[in-house]
Structures are given as structure tokens and as C-alpha cells.
């Protein structure tokens, strides 16, 4: 082999291996957190890698990996009461509430109603848990998140708010195991699935975890998106002191500050802006995920995008009760007066979230099926008795084209600049077109998935 070509060939092989890894690894950190020998660690992009400490080949990391499968039926049957259909994107639902924290400081710190933060503080104060595993902001790189073991209400409050970046929360399970007593847990669907697999495997963790609070998730962001937002506004990332994915009046905007006031990094509300990041900077594995509503949690939380006619439509959290354990936690906090709960129907509380969940599930199935035909790495899916969800051909072609182009950095940069900054004046027209297509996805889903 020509010595001059060796470095090029090695880089190409490395890129191919990274691409395969990116299709299956959720970067949840479960394998790192539970390795009995500590043989795994995380690299800068949150991928697990061997640290040379010596693997004993127990295969536990593979057994608790949530990235290898999208089949939730078995875990749901064990964890939730009832036998939900794997094709019901909402999962098992006991009831749905609208909620918000009664403490003004907690309400102000949260992304919507501050309900998750308030429930953790309530459980800590009552001694039901002695710690909480959740995501907080990195001190060195404020636009990135890191797992935090909070032991006091003040530490829980400091972690309030949404973090849309990739975070390996479960990597801190090794430290969480050392806490005396039980812990509360907050995570995304991939984190929760990894935890449930671990709890199914190890009875110690079944006793250790007091509550599993799950967050609805469309997708995460690669940190590259936050860096490009700051550089597009002429902000040096090295000078950033604080970064928030949802700051300001609800629903908020991505903001940062070096010194002084907060600076908006984009012109639109977060609910409009976040769709463009999906197209350019969502991790590839996120696009193969079918679980937007976090169906394995005790309680699932989402923003309640209430109709404008409803009084007090802002700053509400929609909470889906999935287990008796979650229902008891809500009732105790409500009786204590630390949260406010309002009963509502699912259509009102989860109108936009359910639409998002259906589209996410539909597109994931399309991409997984396509990868199956090409003999590429893909997560396992249950066999569906009916046809795949119907998606408009134009929308499907656009999505698959973007999915291919976004693998290249220069294409990501061009699409990011075009979607986020160049098309602002045409945004209203484009949004009307996309919203016109969305009901067709729902109609197609209902046609192929009769109750």
C-alpha cells in the first residue's frame, strides 16, 4: 500500500465506522453507567468507547442498550397496567392533566409549567427520594448538557428548563448507585428505555428508582447547531457565560449571553424554529426513534399548546399518567398545594404533541424499512399487522433527500443557513403548506391502524 494513501484510507474507514455507530447508538450512556469494570467511557460526542480498563465480556452493555430495538411491547406489559397496543403512539394512558408549579421561582425557571422540577423538590422535601438524576448545563461549554445528581432542592432548581442537546444522562448511574436511599429520575425516551431494561435485569435498580419522569421528545440537537447559531450572530463561543434553549416569555427562544443582557439567536418562537433543526442537526438515530411520548415512564411531560381561546393558555405542562405510582405522586403534591392540576381531555392537552408523535413514528418506520432493504444497520421493530403509515409522496421525497444530504457537513451548513435565516420572509407560506400536509399523515395513519 502506498504510505501516502494510508492516512486517507484510515480516515475513510473511521468515517464509515462512525456512520454505522450513529445509526444504532442513542448516546444515552447506559452502557457506560452500568459497566461493572468501568471499561467504557464517553468521547467528546457522547459516544461510548473503550478506555482500556479491561472488559470481562459480561455482555450487560448490550443487554441494556436501548438503541438496538424499537419494540416496546414487552417492557410496557411489565411496567404499565394493561396491555397497550404497540401501534398506539400514545402508549398506555390512565389519565391526562394540565399542571403547573405554585412556587413562582419554579414556574419562572421551567420551560412551561415547571411541573417536573416541582415534583422532584416535593419528593426531596418529603424524604421520598434522597437524590435525583437529571440533566444540567455544562460549566465549561454552557450550550451542552451533562448528567447531574441533585441532592437538594436548590440543585434541582438549577437544572430546570429544556436542554435540546445530546446528553448521556445514564452515564451517571454508576454514581447514583452510591447514594444512600432511593432516587428520582428524569430522562428522554432513549434514557428511560435503557433504565427500564436495566431495572428488568437487576432487582437492585428496581428498588433504587423511586419514580421515572419522562419528557416528550421529537429529537435532540447536535452541539454543532448551537455553535453555528452563535457564530452566525457573531458571538465567540469562548466568551459565552450562559446558554438557554428556551429563555424569555413562553414558549421562549434560544438565547445566550456573554455579559449583560440575553441575546436572541433566532427570530422565531422555539416551536417554529425547532423543526428546521430537525432537518439539519437531529442525530441520525433520533430519526429512527418511534417513541416521542416516552411511553415507558411513570409520568410523561410535554408543553401544553392550548388553543388561544382558553384563558391562561401559557405556562402549562401536559402530564400523562401511565402508572399507579405516578398517579400517587401527583395526588400527594396536589394535596400538599405545591402544584395546580386541571383535568382535561387528551385532545385538548396533547393536540400538537400527538400530531408530532404520529409523524415521528411514521417517518421512523419509513426510514427503518428503507434501511432494511439496503441491509444497513437498523433497530429491530415488531411485526406490524397492517400496512405502513401513509405519508404524502412529496413530503416523503423531501424528507429522504434531506436525510441523505445532511450526512455531509457542507450540506448541513447550507441548509441550516437557508432554513433558519434566509427563508424567514417566506416562512408563513411554507408553514401553511406543511400544516396542510400534516392532517393527511394523521388521516393515513388512522386508515391503516384501525382501533
- What pLDDT score was predicted for residue 223? 92
| Short-list 155, 157, 149, 152, CA closest to 118 | 157
pLDDT in tens, 365-379: 888 877 776 666 678
Mean pLDDT score across all residues of the chain: 84
Degrees, nearest 5: CA angle 174-178-182: 105
> pLDDT at residue 448 above 60?
no
User: For a pLDDT cut of 90, what percent of the chain falls above it?
Assistant: 49
pLDDT in tens, 297-341: 999 999 988 877 666 778 899 999 999 999 999 999 999 999 999
Q: For residues 130 and 180, is the Cβ–Cβ distance under 8 A?
A: yes
Q: Cα–Cα distance between 397 and 393 in angstroms, integer?
A: 6
Q: What pTM does this model have?
A: 0.88
Q: Cα–Cα distance between 217 and 84 in angstroms, integer?
A: 20
> pLDDT at residue 55 above 60?
yes
Q: How far is CA 236 from the centre of its chain?
A: 27
Percent helix, strand and coil across the chain, each rounded to 5?
Answer: 45, 15, 40
> pLDDT at residue 451 above 50?
no
Amino acid at each position: 500500500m502506498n504510505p501516502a494513501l494510508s492516512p486517507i484510507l484510515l480516515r475513510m474507514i473511521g468515517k464509515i465506522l462512525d456512520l454505522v455507530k450513529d445509526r444504532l447508538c442513542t448516546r444515552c450512556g447506559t452502557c457506560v453507567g452500568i459497566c461493572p469494570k468501568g471499561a467504557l467511557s464517553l468521547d467528546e460526542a457522547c459516544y461510548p468507547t473503550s478506555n482500556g480498563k479491561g472488559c470481562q465480556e459480561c455482555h450487560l452493555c448490550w443487554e441494556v442498550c436501548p438503541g438496538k430495538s424499537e419494540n416496546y411491547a414487552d417492557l410496557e406489559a411489565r411496567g404499565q397496567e394493561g396491555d397497550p397496543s404497540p401501534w398506539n403512539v400514545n402508549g398506555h394512558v390512565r389519565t391526562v392533566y394540565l399542571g403547573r408549579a405554585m412556587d413562582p421561582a419554579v414556574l419562572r425557571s421551567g420551560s412551561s409549567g415547571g411541573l417536573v422540577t416541582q415534583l422532584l423538590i416535593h419528593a426531596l422535601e418529603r424524604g421520598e427520594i434522597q437524590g435525583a438524576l437529571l440533566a444540567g448545563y455544562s460549566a465549561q461549554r454552557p450550550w451542552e448538557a451533562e448528567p447531574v445528581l441533585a441532592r437538594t432542592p436548590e440543585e434541582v432548581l438549577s437544572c430546570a428548563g429544556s436542554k435540546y442537546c445530546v446528553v448521556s444522562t445514564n452515564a451517571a448511574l454508576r454514581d447514583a448507585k452510591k447514594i444512600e436511599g432511593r432516587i428520582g429520575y428524569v430522562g428522554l425516551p432513549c434514557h428511560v428505555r435503557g433504565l427500564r431494561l436495566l431495572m428488568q435485569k437487576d432487582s437492585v435498580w428496581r428498588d433504587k428508582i423511586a419514580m421515572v419522569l419522562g419528557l416528550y421528545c421529537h429529537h435532540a440537537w447536535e452541539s454543532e447547531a448551537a455553535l453555528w447559531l452563535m457564530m452566525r450572530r457573531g458571538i465567540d463561543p469562548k466568551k459565552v457565560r450562559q446558554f438557554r434553549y428556551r429563555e424569555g416569555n413562553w414558549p421562549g427562544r434560544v438565547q445566550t449571553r456573554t455579559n449583560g443582557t440575553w441575546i436572541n439567536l433566532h427570530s422565531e418562537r422555539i416551536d417554529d424554529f425547532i423543526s428546521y433543526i430537525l432537518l439539519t442537526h437531529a442525530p441520525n438515530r433520533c430519526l429512527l426513534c418511534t417513541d416521542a411520548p416516552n411511553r415507558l415512564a411513570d409520568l410523561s411531560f410535554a408543553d401544553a399548546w392550548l388553543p388561544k381561546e382558553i384563558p391562561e393558555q401559557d405556562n402549562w405542562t401536559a402530564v400523562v399518567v401511565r402508572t399507579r405510582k405516578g398517579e400517587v405522586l401527583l395526588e400527594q403534591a396536589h394535596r400538599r398545594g405545591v402544584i395546580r392540576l386541571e383535568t382535561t381531555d387528551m385532545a385538548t392537552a396533547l393536540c400538537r404533541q400527538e400530531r408530532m408523535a404520529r409523524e415521528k413514528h411514521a417517518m421512523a418506520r419509513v426510514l427503518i424499512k428503507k434501511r432494511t432493504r439496503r441491509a444497513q444497520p437498523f433497530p429491530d421493530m415488531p411485526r406490524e399487522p397492517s400496512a405502513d403509515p401513509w405519508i404524502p409522496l412529496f413530503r416523503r421525497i423531501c424528507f429522504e433527500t434531506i436525510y441523505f444530504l445532511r450526512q455531509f457537513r457542507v450540506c448541513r451548513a447550507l441548509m441550516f443557513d437557508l432554513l433558519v435565516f434566509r427563508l424567514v420572509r417566506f416562512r408563513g407560506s411554507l408553514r401553511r403548506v406543511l400544516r396542510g400536509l400534516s392532517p393527511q399523515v394523521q388521516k393515513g395513519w388512522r386508515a391503516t391502524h384501525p382501533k
